């Protein structure tokens, strides 16, 4: 069993989903990074003054549990 941990400037966040294969967990981590990127862009477009585009790097790690 595997889990995904997001690693960012604000600290680490363990996601709730559990996967049977490392490949599935890795794919989920890539989707999560994509969703974070799109979310940042949408917030910036809706109100650039409150949500400046961030260069904070977010990465993920797949861990076996």
Phi-psi region at 19: left, alpha or beta (left = phi > 0; alpha = psi -120 to 50): beta
Report field, pTM of the whole predicted structure over 0.85? no
- For residue range 14-49, list pLDDT tens digits in order: 889 999 999 999 999 999 999 988 998 999 999 988
- pLDDT (0 to 100) of residue 42: 93
- What is the predicted pLDDT for the residue at 35? 92
Reading the block at residue 14, the tokens are 């363990």
């Amino acid at each position: 069993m595997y889990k995904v941990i997001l690693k960012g400037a604000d600290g680490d966040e363990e996601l709730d989903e559990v996967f049977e294969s490392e490949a599935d967990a890795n794919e989920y981590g890539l989707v999560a990074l994509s969703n974070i990127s799109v979310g940042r862009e949408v917030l910036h477009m809706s109100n650039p003054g409150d949500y400046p585009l961030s260069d904070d790097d977010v990465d993920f790690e797949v861990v076996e549990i």
